[in-house]
Amino acid sequence: MAAIAGNRERSWAILLCGAVFFVLSLWLVVWPFTGETDSVLHFLTAQRVISDPKIALGAWARPLHKLLLVGPASFGIIPARGFQAILTIALMWQTTRLAEELCLKRAWLTGAMLIWQPLVFALGSDTMTEIPFALGTTIALRLWNARRFGWSCVVAGLLPLLRPEGFALAAGAALLTLINTRDRVSRRLTYASLALIGAALWAIACMIVTGNWRYFIDVWSWPMSSYQSYGHGSLLHYLVRWPWYCGWILFPLFCLGIVSALRERRMRLPLALWGTIFVIHTLLYWRGMFASIGEMRILVTTSSVTALVCLYGWNLLANRGYLRPAIAWTLALLASGWVMVEYARHVRHYECFAVRDIAKYIQQQHLVESRTLVFTGDKMLLAELNRLDTNAIPMNRESMLAYLRSLPVGTVGMWDNRNAQTWYGISIDELPEMGFTILHEYRRGVPDSPEALVNLGWKASLRYVVLRKD
């Protein structure tokens, strides 16, 4: 009977993964780009890797992510995002397997608890690094639980190549291995040293490509003190927004489940991982360090652990008879619908339609030829026009003003009241004074909502223009 039940749960898990992949595939067609500014930069960087390998060796580039993405990105944004959707399904499967190995009831539901996190769904088919990092941490946890400590250290050692938080987790894996008394000292030292594999490979690649093994350190993207550039926030920033991160359905389940999970010995390591990431980013944003800007999507890196905790909450209700089939299916439909509604409530996800309109106008009017210079405050336009990324301009008003004034006659570009105005402090109305003519304008009012579980939301105005220097 246990084998039959296990096979039935495995079938449900496979069916769930297939359904989620179908939805994510449709979603990336309807929403061709996302409003996550870094996502299009990751895509453009992946496209340039073959012609300029050095661009993938900086810390911001996330070298392992670019190595994985370079193939799909060479075929365009849709294949790149489709590949990321496959990684999301892999994360769902690995999280489900982790729940099974932890002997949790209804383990197949862990995949649902994962994709019902609004920001996991939002990044599910996006070219960001949080999902691949979460996949790596989940695999490392499974290997550790299987007592394959050496392989766990190898996977943890590769995490720095996906995100900078990986350095902390690699160090943590090495430390746990060293204090693990189940192995002799020599073996522990050998296994712990494997946590350095990512940094070693990174240094070797830098040496081969640039001749300087410290290249990724020399071009480190985030200054220790980033207060002036990126600001800082409350010590409670992530804690206050945690209900919004979870959403209406999962937040009560998380609150119920965390008490039970904390009592379980088997959950100590997953919760330690979750807490480490949470505390690190809380402190970094509070102190204004390493360009931490308080983005809640960062917590997607530990989304598999969040899913496990929520499953504890679901099981608690189910074991007490509160989740009869009709109620359970109703909650499932509400949670599935909520992540889509949450996605559609934010103005950043509508920017792609403005950029697509701008790109269509530029192409129809034949404004851009092979040698035409193109400038933009939103790199999404370059991806839409199938042009390679341009050199970055320092994110301050003075540098951008100097750059705009230096552009030759005939230069074509796009400016907007969202990213360009926010990052560079230059409004659209200032550009005609510098010799630019507005050729086309896109305006639209769209929904926008604050990062809060209970909010009324409001309308935001999108204004994008095509400009030419005359």
How many whole angstroms separate alpha carbon 87 and alpha carbon 99? 18
pLDDT interval class at 449 (50, 70, 90): confident
Mean pLDDT of 60-64: 89
Q: What local confidence, expressed as pLDDT, does residue 382 receive?
A: 84
The token pair that represents 115 in the structure block: 């994709």
Q: What local confidence, expressed as pLDDT, does residue 223 receive?
A: 63
Q: Is 4 a residue whose pLDDT tops 60? A: no
Q: What local confidence, expressed as pLDDT, does residue 452 receive?
A: 66
C-alpha dist (Å) from residue 221 to 57, 60, 215, 377:
11, 6, 12, 19
Q: What local confidence, expressed as pLDDT, does residue 5 receive?
A: 57
**Pairwise pLDDT comparison (93 vs 376), residue with the higher score:** 93
Q: What local confidence, expressed as pLDDT, does residue 437 receive?
A: 94
Would residue 87 be called left, alpha or beta, if left means φ above 0 and alpha means ψ between -120 and 50 degrees? alpha
Mean pLDDT of 243-267: 94
Mean pLDDT of 35-45: 84
Q: What does the CA dihedral 29, 31, 37, 43 come to, rounded to 10 degrees?
A: 0
Q: What local confidence, expressed as pLDDT, does residue 456 receive?
A: 59
pLDDT tens figures, 369-401: 767 778 887 888 888 888 776 666 767 888 888
Q: What local confidence, expressed as pLDDT, does residue 392 receive?
A: 67
pLDDT tens figures, 286-312: 988 777 788 899 999 999 999 999 999
pLDDT interval class at 1 (50, 70, 90): very low
Q: Is 226 a residue whose pLDDT tops 80? A: no
pLDDT interval class at 270 (50, 70, 90): very high
Least confident segment among 2-6, 82-86, 392-396: 2-6
Q: What local confidence, expressed as pLDDT, does residue 228 receive?
A: 58
pLDDT interval class at 141 (50, 70, 90): very high
Q: Is 65 a residue whose pLDDT tops 90? A: yes
**Listed residue (190, 206, 120) closest to 157, CA to CA:** 190
How many whole angstroms separate alpha carbon 37 and alpha carbon 77? 14
Per DSSP, 407 falls in state S
**Three-state SS annotation for 265-282:** HHHHHHHHHHHHHHHHHH
Mean pLDDT of 92-110: 96
Mean pLDDT of all residues belonging to the chain: 90
**Listed residue (230, 232, 240) closest to 286, CA to CA:** 232
The token pair that represents 372 in the structure block: 């035409």
Mean pLDDT of 125-149: 96
pLDDT tens figures, 195-211: 999 999 999 999 999 99
The residue extents of the domains of the chain are 2-344, 348-469
pLDDT interval class at 32 (50, 70, 90): confident
pLDDT tens figures, 301-347: 999 999 999 999 999 999 999 999 999 999 999 999 999 999 988 88
Q: Is 455 a residue whose pLDDT tops 80? A: no
The token pair that represents 154 in the structure block: 């190898």
Q: What local confidence, expressed as pLDDT, does residue 222 receive?
A: 63
* Contacts (Cβ under 8 Å, ≥6 apart) of 356: 32, 384
Q: What local confidence, expressed as pLDDT, does residue 378 receive?
A: 80
For 400, what's the count of Cα atoms within 13 Å in the CB-facing half-sphere?
Answer: 19
Mean pLDDT of 165-193: 91
**Pairwise pLDDT comparison (228 vs 52), residue with the higher score:** 52
**Listed residue (410, 424, 381) closest to 468, CA to CA:** 410
